[in-house]
A = this chain, B = another copy of it.
Amino acid sequence: MNKEELRDLILRKKSVLCVGLDTDISKIPSFFKDKYADEDIVFEYNKQIIDAVLPYTVAFKPNLAFYESRGVSGWISLQKTMQYIESKKEEVFLIADAKRGDIGNTSGQYAKAFFDQEQSGFNFDAVTVAPYMGIDSVSPFLAFEGKWVIILALTSNPGADDFQLSTCKETDEKLFEKVLRVSSEWGSDENTMYVIGATRSDMLIKVREIVPEHFLLIPGVGAQGGNLKEVLHLGWNNFGGILINASRSIIFAKGEEDFAEAAAAEAKKLQNAMSSFISAHK
Protein backbone atom coordinates (compact mmCIF):
# COMPACT_ATOMS: atom_id res chain seq x y z
CA MET A 1 0.00 0.00 0.00
CA ASN A 2 1.52 3.37 -0.95
CA LYS A 3 1.31 6.65 0.93
CA GLU A 4 -1.67 8.02 -0.98
CA GLU A 5 -3.61 4.79 -0.57
CA LEU A 6 -2.90 4.82 3.14
CA ARG A 7 -4.05 8.43 3.43
CA ASP A 8 -7.23 7.63 1.50
CA LEU A 9 -7.90 4.65 3.74
CA ILE A 10 -7.48 6.85 6.84
CA LEU A 11 -9.82 9.52 5.51
CA ARG A 12 -12.39 6.98 4.38
CA LYS A 13 -12.46 5.07 7.67
CA LYS A 14 -11.87 8.21 9.76
CA SER A 15 -9.39 6.21 11.76
CA VAL A 16 -5.66 5.99 12.36
CA LEU A 17 -6.09 2.96 14.59
CA CYS A 18 -3.65 0.09 14.35
CA VAL A 19 -4.60 -2.98 16.38
CA GLY A 20 -1.60 -4.82 17.77
CA LEU A 21 -2.10 -8.58 17.64
CA ASP A 22 0.12 -9.27 20.67
CA THR A 23 -1.73 -12.49 21.21
CA ASP A 24 -0.15 -13.86 24.38
CA ILE A 25 -1.58 -17.37 24.68
CA SER A 26 -1.38 -17.17 28.49
CA LYS A 27 -3.79 -14.19 28.43
CA ILE A 28 -6.46 -15.93 26.35
CA PRO A 29 -9.41 -16.70 28.67
CA SER A 30 -9.65 -20.29 29.83
CA PHE A 31 -13.25 -20.76 28.60
CA PHE A 32 -11.92 -19.99 25.12
CA LYS A 33 -9.01 -22.39 25.44
CA ASP A 34 -11.41 -25.13 26.50
CA LYS A 35 -13.81 -24.42 23.66
CA TYR A 36 -11.06 -24.54 21.02
CA ALA A 37 -8.85 -27.13 22.71
CA ASP A 38 -8.44 -29.11 19.49
CA GLU A 39 -7.87 -26.05 17.31
CA ASP A 40 -5.12 -23.46 16.85
CA ILE A 41 -6.20 -21.35 19.84
CA VAL A 42 -4.22 -18.22 18.97
CA PHE A 43 -5.48 -18.22 15.39
CA GLU A 44 -9.10 -18.77 16.49
CA TYR A 45 -8.78 -15.92 18.97
CA ASN A 46 -7.21 -13.62 16.37
CA LYS A 47 -9.99 -14.41 13.89
CA GLN A 48 -12.70 -13.24 16.28
CA ILE A 49 -10.72 -10.14 17.25
CA ILE A 50 -10.07 -9.26 13.61
CA ASP A 51 -13.74 -9.61 12.68
CA ALA A 52 -14.75 -7.50 15.66
CA VAL A 53 -12.33 -4.58 15.21
CA LEU A 54 -11.90 -4.42 11.44
CA PRO A 55 -14.61 -1.74 10.94
CA TYR A 56 -12.62 0.64 13.16
CA THR A 57 -9.03 -0.06 12.18
CA VAL A 58 -6.77 0.80 9.25
CA ALA A 59 -3.87 -1.46 10.27
CA PHE A 60 -3.01 -4.69 12.05
CA LYS A 61 0.33 -5.22 13.72
CA PRO A 62 1.14 -8.76 14.86
CA ASN A 63 3.99 -8.65 17.35
CA LEU A 64 6.29 -11.45 16.25
CA ALA A 65 7.52 -12.25 19.76
CA PHE A 66 4.13 -13.57 20.82
CA TYR A 67 4.21 -16.05 17.93
CA GLU A 68 7.88 -17.01 18.08
CA SER A 69 7.56 -17.79 21.77
CA ARG A 70 5.59 -20.86 20.64
CA GLY A 71 8.21 -21.85 18.07
CA VAL A 72 7.03 -23.47 14.86
CA SER A 73 3.40 -23.66 16.07
CA GLY A 74 3.47 -19.93 16.68
CA TRP A 75 4.69 -19.21 13.16
CA ILE A 76 1.87 -21.38 11.85
CA SER A 77 -0.66 -19.34 13.89
CA LEU A 78 0.85 -16.16 12.42
CA GLN A 79 0.66 -17.46 8.88
CA LYS A 80 -2.97 -18.51 9.28
CA THR A 81 -3.78 -15.14 10.83
CA MET A 82 -2.29 -13.26 7.90
CA GLN A 83 -4.07 -15.51 5.40
CA TYR A 84 -7.33 -14.87 7.25
CA ILE A 85 -6.86 -11.10 7.05
CA GLU A 86 -6.12 -11.37 3.32
CA SER A 87 -9.23 -13.50 2.83
CA LYS A 88 -11.38 -10.63 4.12
CA LYS A 89 -10.51 -8.67 0.95
CA GLU A 90 -10.67 -5.41 2.88
CA GLU A 91 -7.97 -2.83 2.48
CA VAL A 92 -5.83 -2.82 5.61
CA PHE A 93 -2.17 -1.97 6.28
CA LEU A 94 -0.18 -4.92 7.65
CA ILE A 95 2.82 -4.37 9.92
CA ALA A 96 5.21 -7.09 11.09
CA ASP A 97 6.36 -5.78 14.46
CA ALA A 98 9.63 -7.66 14.40
CA LYS A 99 12.34 -5.11 15.37
CA ARG A 100 14.80 -6.78 13.00
CA GLY A 101 18.09 -5.42 11.64
CA ASP A 102 21.44 -7.00 10.75
CA ILE A 103 24.28 -6.62 8.24
CA GLY A 104 23.21 -6.13 4.63
CA ASN A 105 22.96 -9.67 3.30
CA THR A 106 21.16 -10.77 6.47
CA SER A 107 18.69 -7.88 6.48
CA GLY A 108 17.96 -8.85 2.89
CA GLN A 109 16.84 -12.24 4.19
CA TYR A 110 14.66 -10.62 6.85
CA ALA A 111 13.10 -8.48 4.14
CA LYS A 112 12.24 -11.66 2.22
CA ALA A 113 10.76 -13.16 5.40
CA PHE A 114 8.15 -10.42 5.63
CA PHE A 115 7.75 -9.12 2.07
CA ASP A 116 8.41 -11.98 -0.35
CA GLN A 117 5.19 -13.99 -0.24
CA GLU A 118 6.37 -16.53 -2.79
CA GLN A 119 9.35 -17.52 -0.66
CA SER A 120 8.12 -17.01 2.90
CA GLY A 121 4.35 -17.02 2.66
CA PHE A 122 4.14 -13.52 4.16
CA ASN A 123 3.10 -10.33 2.43
CA PHE A 124 3.28 -7.58 5.04
CA ASP A 125 3.24 -3.92 3.99
CA ALA A 126 5.82 -2.90 6.58
CA VAL A 127 8.30 -4.21 9.13
CA THR A 128 9.73 -2.52 12.22
CA VAL A 129 13.52 -2.26 12.23
CA ALA A 130 16.11 -1.28 14.86
CA PRO A 131 18.55 1.38 13.59
CA TYR A 132 21.63 0.54 15.71
CA MET A 133 23.53 -1.14 12.84
CA GLY A 134 23.05 1.76 10.42
CA ILE A 135 22.34 2.18 6.75
CA ASP A 136 23.10 -1.28 5.38
CA SER A 137 20.87 -2.87 8.04
CA VAL A 138 17.89 -0.86 6.76
CA SER A 139 18.38 -0.37 3.02
CA PRO A 140 17.66 -4.00 1.98
CA PHE A 141 14.09 -3.50 3.23
CA LEU A 142 13.79 -0.32 1.15
CA ALA A 143 14.71 -2.24 -1.98
CA PHE A 144 11.22 -3.83 -1.99
CA GLU A 145 8.94 -1.72 -4.15
CA GLY A 146 5.71 -0.70 -2.44
CA LYS A 147 6.90 -1.82 1.01
CA TRP A 148 7.77 0.17 4.11
CA VAL A 149 10.35 0.12 6.83
CA ILE A 150 9.36 1.48 10.23
CA ILE A 151 12.51 2.56 12.08
CA LEU A 152 12.66 2.70 15.88
CA ALA A 153 13.42 6.29 16.82
CA LEU A 154 12.00 7.15 20.24
CA THR A 155 10.36 4.23 21.98
CA SER A 156 7.76 4.22 24.75
CA ASN A 157 9.60 2.07 27.30
CA PRO A 158 11.66 3.24 30.30
CA GLY A 159 14.90 1.91 28.74
CA ALA A 160 14.54 4.44 25.90
CA ASP A 161 16.39 6.85 28.19
CA ASP A 162 19.52 4.70 28.25
CA PHE A 163 20.75 5.54 24.75
CA GLN A 164 18.03 7.24 22.65
CA LEU A 165 18.24 10.41 24.75
CA SER A 166 22.07 10.65 24.73
CA THR A 167 23.28 13.87 23.15
CA CYS A 168 25.58 13.44 20.15
CA LYS A 169 28.55 15.73 20.66
CA GLU A 170 29.35 16.30 16.97
CA THR A 171 25.89 17.65 16.11
CA ASP A 172 24.42 18.53 19.51
CA GLU A 173 21.27 16.50 18.96
CA LYS A 174 19.74 13.56 20.81
CA LEU A 175 20.50 10.13 19.38
CA PHE A 176 16.84 9.64 18.36
CA GLU A 177 17.02 12.98 16.52
CA LYS A 178 20.14 11.84 14.73
CA VAL A 179 18.42 8.57 13.83
CA LEU A 180 15.50 10.55 12.34
CA ARG A 181 17.73 13.02 10.48
CA VAL A 182 20.26 10.51 9.11
CA SER A 183 17.88 7.66 8.26
CA SER A 184 15.35 9.94 6.58
CA GLU A 185 17.97 10.28 3.82
CA TRP A 186 18.17 6.51 3.23
CA GLY A 187 14.69 6.28 1.82
CA SER A 188 11.87 8.79 1.65
CA ASP A 189 8.53 9.52 3.25
CA GLU A 190 7.10 7.11 0.65
CA ASN A 191 8.81 4.06 2.17
CA THR A 192 9.99 4.99 5.68
CA MET A 193 8.02 5.51 8.88
CA TYR A 194 9.18 5.96 12.48
CA VAL A 195 8.21 4.48 15.83
CA ILE A 196 7.62 7.31 18.31
CA GLY A 197 6.27 6.40 21.73
CA ALA A 198 3.08 8.19 22.76
CA THR A 199 4.37 8.33 26.32
CA ARG A 200 6.78 11.00 25.00
CA SER A 201 4.28 13.24 23.27
CA ASP A 202 6.18 16.35 24.41
CA MET A 203 8.92 15.30 22.04
CA LEU A 204 6.55 14.90 19.08
CA ILE A 205 7.03 18.59 18.31
CA LYS A 206 10.76 18.01 17.85
CA VAL A 207 10.07 14.89 15.78
CA ARG A 208 7.74 16.79 13.45
CA GLU A 209 10.41 19.45 12.90
CA ILE A 210 12.84 16.79 11.64
CA VAL A 211 10.41 14.57 9.69
CA PRO A 212 7.32 16.67 8.90
CA GLU A 213 6.19 14.46 6.01
CA HIS A 214 6.82 10.95 7.35
CA PHE A 215 4.26 8.63 8.86
CA LEU A 216 4.76 7.91 12.55
CA LEU A 217 3.73 4.65 14.22
CA ILE A 218 2.76 5.59 17.75
CA PRO A 219 2.39 2.87 20.36
CA GLY A 220 1.64 3.44 24.00
CA VAL A 221 -1.80 5.04 23.83
CA GLY A 222 -3.50 2.09 25.50
CA ALA A 223 -1.87 0.07 28.28
CA GLN A 224 1.19 2.31 28.36
CA GLY A 225 -0.82 5.45 29.09
CA GLY A 226 -0.17 7.98 26.30
CA ASN A 227 -2.67 10.74 25.60
CA LEU A 228 -4.67 10.20 22.39
CA LYS A 229 -5.80 13.78 21.74
CA GLU A 230 -2.39 15.28 22.31
CA VAL A 231 -0.81 12.72 20.00
CA LEU A 232 -3.37 13.45 17.25
CA HIS A 233 -2.76 17.19 17.52
CA LEU A 234 1.02 16.96 17.52
CA GLY A 235 1.45 14.11 15.04
CA TRP A 236 -1.14 14.80 12.33
CA ASN A 237 0.14 16.15 9.00
CA ASN A 238 -1.33 16.70 5.56
CA PHE A 239 -1.06 12.97 4.77
CA GLY A 240 -2.62 11.86 8.02
CA GLY A 241 0.87 10.93 8.98
CA ILE A 242 0.14 8.83 12.05
CA LEU A 243 -0.88 5.33 12.93
CA ILE A 244 -1.79 4.91 16.58
CA ASN A 245 -1.38 1.45 17.97
CA ALA A 246 -3.29 -0.18 20.79
CA SER A 247 -2.77 -3.83 21.63
CA ARG A 248 -3.64 -5.31 25.02
CA SER A 249 -6.25 -2.66 25.84
CA ILE A 250 -8.26 -3.89 22.84
CA ILE A 251 -7.52 -7.56 22.31
CA PHE A 252 -7.67 -8.42 26.01
CA ALA A 253 -10.32 -5.86 26.96
CA LYS A 254 -12.43 -8.53 28.68
CA GLY A 255 -11.82 -12.14 29.65
CA GLU A 256 -15.36 -13.41 29.18
CA GLU A 257 -17.63 -14.79 26.45
CA ASP A 258 -18.20 -11.32 25.03
CA PHE A 259 -14.45 -10.59 24.71
CA ALA A 260 -14.82 -9.80 20.99
CA GLU A 261 -17.68 -7.35 21.59
CA ALA A 262 -15.55 -5.73 24.30
CA ALA A 263 -12.63 -5.46 21.88
CA ALA A 264 -14.91 -3.88 19.28
CA ALA A 265 -16.20 -1.41 21.87
CA GLU A 266 -12.65 -0.37 22.83
CA ALA A 267 -11.65 0.00 19.19
CA LYS A 268 -14.81 1.98 18.45
CA LYS A 269 -14.14 4.30 21.37
CA LEU A 270 -10.68 5.13 20.05
CA GLN A 271 -11.95 5.43 16.49
CA ASN A 272 -14.71 7.80 17.61
CA ALA A 273 -12.16 10.17 19.12
CA MET A 274 -10.05 9.88 15.97
CA SER A 275 -13.06 10.48 13.76
CA SER A 276 -13.95 13.79 15.41
CA PHE A 277 -10.37 14.95 15.01
CA ILE A 278 -10.02 13.77 11.41
CA SER A 279 -13.34 15.33 10.33
CA ALA A 280 -12.12 18.64 11.73
CA HIS A 281 -8.64 18.43 10.14
CA LYS A 282 -8.86 16.72 6.77
Chain B proximity mask over A75-103: 1 for CB below 8 Å, otherwise 0: 11001000000000000000001011111
Once A68-B109, A72-B72, A76-B72 are accepted as A-B contacts, the answer to whether A164 and B120 lie under 8 Å apart by CB is no
Q: Are A155 and B175 in contact (CB under 8 A)?
A: no
One of B159, B167, B172 near A135 (C-beta < 8 A)? B159
- For the complex, is A166 an interface residue (Cβ under 8 Å from B)? yes
Note all chain B residues with C-beta closer than 8 A to A183: 162
Q: In the complex, which of the residues A106, A131, A161, A172 has the most CB atoms of chain B within 10 Å of its own CB atom?
A: A106
Q: Are B134 and A159 in contact (CB under 8 A)?
A: yes
Stretch of A3-11, A39-47, A111-119, A262-270 at the chain-chain interface: A111-119
Q: Are A132 and B72 in contact (CB under 8 A)?
A: no
Chain B nearest CB, measured from A248 CB (Å): 9
Once A132-B132, A161-B134, A163-B175 are accepted as A-B contacts, the answer to whether A120 and B70 lie under 8 Å apart by CB is yes
Q: Are B110 and A68 in contact (CB under 8 A)?
A: yes
Note all chain B residues with C-beta closer than 8 A to A178: 163, 166
Interface residues on A, range: 35 or more
One of B99, B109, B113, B164 near A101 (C-beta < 8 A)? B99
- For the complex, is A63 an interface residue (Cβ under 8 Å from B)? yes
Using a CB–CB cutoff of 8 Å, the interface residues on chain A facing chain B are 22, 24, 63, 65-66, 68-72, 74-76, 79, 97, 99-104, 106-107, 109-110, 112-113, 116, 119-122, 130-138, 152, 155-164, 166-170, 172, 175, 178-179, 182-183
